Amino acid sequence: MNGRILQTMGFKEDELQNIIINANFSADIEFVVSPDSNGYIEVDGKWDPAVVKSFEQATLSNGTFQLSQTERERLQFFTLYWNDRDSTITVALPEGHQLNEVKLDSSSSDWDLTDLSAKQLELNNTSGSIRLENIKAPRIELALTSGDITASMIDGDMTVKQTSGSLTADQVILRSLN
């Protein structure tokens, strides 16, 4: 049922400013330096059909990469599929490029974000785990109803709202913890 895909979307030097994802899938999301002055978003791994469809329908318009699943697709994923942990989204940006906003919303996902530089990072997840490593963002907002948060090498103010689960932090500046 799960199919392996490799899909790449390229963009010009400063074309990507925001990443908005509203979907249920677990993935490693890596931010890397592009080999040239252009950038790309690459999706690799095993994904269920609803997630593959959402990748195919993702858009890059007015500086914003947007990937959304319908409520039906999100529910279908929640009840039928679980991703393998080798699913990766790589975002390659020109050296020194800082995104304005990265926003991820989900009802059930495990996310692993590394090497992100943005003005704002916002993660909202009902159930799952969040791991952040080497994140540079003046404003970081994490909201997790049930699950664990691990954060290391964070440069910025972080607000955490968590109902149940653990919070493990190393080299992090915490502004508030609810």
> Is the per-residue pLDDT at 144 higher than 70?
yes
Q: Three-class SS of residue 171?
A: coil
**Helix segments in the chain, DSSP class H:** 49-56, 71-80
8 Å CB contact between 110 and 71: no
Query: How large is the average pLDDT for residues 119-128?
Result: 95
- Report the mean per-residue pLDDT for the chain: 86
Q: In angstroms, how far is CA 57 from the centroid of its own chain?
A: 17
Q: How confident is the model at residue 78 (pLDDT cuts 50, 70, 90)?
A: very low
Among 24, 146, 131, which residue's Cα sits nearest to residue 83? 24
Rounded to 5 degrees, what are φ and ψ at 86? -95, 20
> Is the per-residue pLDDT at 152 higher than 90?
yes
- Angle between helix axes 49-56 and 71-80 (nearest 10 degrees) is 150
8 Å CB contact between 88 and 30: yes
* Residue-wise DSSP of 103-145: EEEEEE--EEEES-BEEEEEEEEEES-EEEEEEEEEEEEEEEE
Give the structural domain span for 75: 3-177
Specify the number of domains making up the chain: 1
Q: What percent of the chain has pLDDT over 70?
A: 85
Query: How large is the average pLDDT for residues 106-114?
Result: 91
* Cα dihedral sign, 131-134-136-138: positive
Query: How large is the average pLDDT for residues 70-86?
Result: 49
The per-residue pLDDT for 53 is 84
The per-residue pLDDT for 1 is 46
The per-residue pLDDT for 35 is 92
